[in-house]
Amino acid sequence: MFSKIYLLLLSTVLGLTTQVSGLGSSCSAPLGGGTASPSDPFWMETITHQGTSAFNSNPSSYQVFRNVKDFGAKGDGVTDDTAAINSAMSSGGRCGGGSCASSTLTPAIVYFPSGTYVVSSAIDMYYYTQMIGDAKNPPTLLASSGFSGFAVIDADPYVPNGYGAQWYTNQDNFYRSIRNLVIDLRQMPATTSAIGLHWQVSQATSLMNIVVEMSTASGNSHQGMFMENGSGGFMDDLVFNGGQYGIQIGNQQFTVRNLTINNAQTAVSGIWNWGWTFQGVTINNCQVGFALATGGTSQADQTVGSEAIIDAVVTNTPIFIQSSVASNGKLAGSLVLNNIQLNNVPTAVGVTGGAVVLNGGTTTIASWGQGNVFSGTSGNVAFTQGNIPAANKASSLLDSSGRVFQKTHPQYAAYATSQFVSVKSSGAKGDGHTDDTTVIQNVINEYAGCKIIFFDAGTYYVTNTITVPAGAQIVGEAWSVILAGGSAFSNQDSPTVVFQAGTTGSQGVFEVTDMIFSTAGAAPGAIMIEWNVHDPSGQQGAAGMWDTHLRSVGTNMQSGQCPAGSENAACQAAFLGIHLTSGSSAYFEGTWVWTADHDLDSSTSTQTSIFTGRGILSQSAGPVWLIGTSEHAALYQYNLAGAQDHWIGFAQTETPYYQPTPAAPAPFFTDSAYNDPTFSSSINTAWGMYIETSQNIVLFGAGFYNFFQNYGQSCLTSNSCQTQIFNIDSASAASVGVYSVSTIGSTYQLSVAQNGVVTASSNLDGYQDTLTAWST
């Protein structure tokens, strides 16, 4: 309940994917580039819409894809389209309005053709919704001059006169995405406190390719985004122009990539957090870049805990970072700055009231930190406001300008509808029970590398491995589900792969977007994804997944079968989530590997005891970009074993709530074939992250949390829910760089060779404890 999971990655050109036919693909006419003509609408608008919600009470009539124009919206820049858009959002008995905490049964895409849609009150966003605009020609939501409402798009509305009550619990507000929209607040008076997005969300959420236009009048009260809490999350390719605040944000953790803010008074106003990672930030002509509320050092007094910022360019802005309270040798607001280019920015880091911590100018900050810095096996606390050891970023991880490489979720905007093949049109049922293994395998064999394979919304039950060659491009619709079940996945002594991405040694494009991988219990022998494919030379990030998640809860594993505290063998959901094998490369952005702690389809969010063995195992020699999270697996959430050249953005993990009853690794066994860590009577809970014999690993922001001991929380105040949570096998291991790591509930924050090194008590930073940097 407290927080969940995330795993993400990066990208380049919206929709223009260079197609390289995979070596493993058997198709005869390689796809090549997109053939849509400039006047064609986005393929998503014209493709046949036959997606369903398999477990809805009425799957034949429930509509997943909703074009707002079919609900009466005009998009003509004049007509008030609010009611039509809200009807497209809510029709079909969806989960919202305050009476439904969560549901997987009513997914929807609310689609906007290009045009200008005038709105006069909030668009309230229901659970499990993707709002998607035409990617070729993004539509505008134009707030009318008399707009009244909390925000133009509201992902967690407050209930009127509800004394603070909201539609959803902020830490459980999952499965949302907004893409390809312009939100324009400029018709509203500058003095009105207008908000573009109220984005109070948790895991499995994303914002992508959004522009918010605001007043540039001095003293205006507009803001692009307001986020007061939650447990996110990922967002990328966002532009905020004008405003009092570009964005005003508080949330446990988040990863933000490719953020641009122009002409705001304050670009980023930070209310509170445990840890955020910003990768690729551009700030132009603001008064302050980051204004951070700091100084909280107790669980009752949470302010901004830690910010890790890499690859920023800040121009004509008097102050880049301003904290509200000076640190004065105590850890109050950890900062990590890496590759920050300042152009006419007199103060790099300062304190409200004028004190300067780091002078600016026109200069580049290579690697600077504020907070407690550690090295090797010494637990000595060295409070630092100065240069810190630089991350050893492998060149394979960087773009030609030396920044960490980025690749945006491919949307195939240049492709014609005829370049897609639908699995339902090819005979797959997606009804949650028909065995679709053979049909799906046949579609992949015939079309991988020749067509983009479209999984119409649905739940595709498979009973054996789906083998997908390099060259494949797979697109889901509102998170289409591949659900594995049956005897092939029942034996943890002989695990079987559900989805195999390329074979050993294969190279090529391999793209998976908007999918979910899940199992129907019991499946203790399921490896949900085995990732073998590698980028071809010269095509960084060609093999990746975006907005694609793993989920262990659901079919045969709900609160009825798997109540909290039970140890039902039928509730063993998987052996391993994702396995990156030694020859693979991977770019994963917005991937949540979740073993459910509660039932999304129970009206009271009832807790569950569901067991998965392992989260993410990487043995890859790289390059690997992971911006993400993994939660509640029994042995570990991340295991890097013999891995090289990894960039890991904000990694968030949680230990299972049931542990140590049973103690890790139960109900699984350790298996040396999978480089499992060892456990003992004193190490009997899951590792957040375990790094062994690996090199060139950069961990740039992490939150390793444990909130429970056998469902009780009395361990929290003494940080004794578990002893150790993050292990590096040897202090002399080549170049593992660790920055901005927050922990909760663990006595030690970092261990070397399973001996605790950094104590949480030395790094009190609010609700969480934060170490600013550790290096070998």
Ligand X SMILES: *[C@@H]1O[C@H](CO)[C@@H](O)[C@H](O)[C@H]1NC(C)=O
324 binds ligand X (CB under 6 A): no
Block residue for tokens 């880049």: 320
Whether 374 contacts 380, CB under 8 Å: yes
Whether 687 contacts 665, CB under 8 Å: no
How far apart are alpha carbons 225 and 714 in whole angstroms?
36
Radius of gyration of the chain measured on its C-alpha atoms? 24
Which one, 315 or 445, has the nearer CB to ligand X? 315
Which one, 279 or 561, has the nearer CB to ligand X? 279
CB of 172 to ligand X, least distance (A): 11
CB of 398 to ligand X, least distance (A): 12
Name which position in 53, 229, 248, 338 contacts ligand X (CB under 6 A): 229
Closest CA to 512 of 501, 528, 526: 501
Closest CA to 766 of 272, 107, 237: 272
CB of 223 to ligand X, least distance (A): 14
Which one, 213 or 237, has the nearer CB to ligand X? 237
CB of 580 to ligand X, least distance (A): 23
Label each residue of 210-257 as H, E or C. Answer: EEEECCCCCCCCCEEEEECCCCCCEEEEEEEECCCEEEEEEEEEEEEE
Which one, 250 or 701, has the nearer CB to ligand X? 250
Q: Please state, as a whole number, how many other Cβ atoms lie within 10 Å of the Cβ of residue 710.
A: 14
170 binds ligand X (CB under 6 A): yes
180 binds ligand X (CB under 6 A): no
Which one, 207 or 474, has the nearer CB to ligand X? 207
How far apart are alpha carbons 197 and 154 in whole angstroms?
6
19 binds ligand X (CB under 6 A): no
CB of 154 to ligand X, least distance (A): 14
How far apart are alpha carbons 337 and 371 in whole angstroms?
12
Which one, 6 or 226, has the nearer CB to ligand X? 226
12 binds ligand X (CB under 6 A): yes
Name which position in 20, 47, 204, 239 contacts ligand X (CB under 6 A): 239
Which one, 208 or 576, has the nearer CB to ligand X? 208
Name which position in 40, 70, 80, 228 contacts ligand X (CB under 6 A): 228
Q: Please state, as a whole number, how many other Cβ atoms lie within 10 Å of the Cβ of residue 352.
A: 16
DSSP run (H or E) holding 44: helix 43-46
How far apart are alpha carbons 445 and 428 in whole angstroms?
14
CB of 209 to ligand X, least distance (A): 5
Residues touching ligand X, count (CB under 6 A): 12
223 binds ligand X (CB under 6 A): no
CB of 227 to ligand X, least distance (A): 9
CB of 405 to ligand X, least distance (A): 9
Q: Is 421 helix (H, G, I), strand (E, B) or coil?
A: strand
Count helices and strands (H / E) in the chain.
3, 46
80 binds ligand X (CB under 6 A): no
How far apart are alpha carbons 526 and 102 in whole angstroms?
27
Block residue for tokens 């505008």: 140
Contacts of 368 (CB under 8 A, 6+ apart): 335, 336, 337, 338, 340, 348, 349, 358, 386, 387, 388
Name which position in 156, 213, 237, 311 contacts ligand X (CB under 6 A): 237
Q: Site mask, ligand X, residues 269-298, x = CB under 6 A?
A: --x---------------------------
What residues from 354 to 413 belong to the interface with ligand X (CB under 6 A)?
A: 406, 408
Which one, 2 or 128, has the nearer CB to ligand X? 2
Which one, 66 or 198, has the nearer CB to ligand X? 198
Name which position in 173, 180, 202, 209 contacts ligand X (CB under 6 A): 209
How far apart are alpha carbons 712 and 338 in whole angstroms?
39
Which one, 181 or 522, has the nearer CB to ligand X? 181
Binding residues for ligand X (CB under 6 A): 12, 170, 209, 228-229, 237, 239, 250, 258, 271, 406, 408
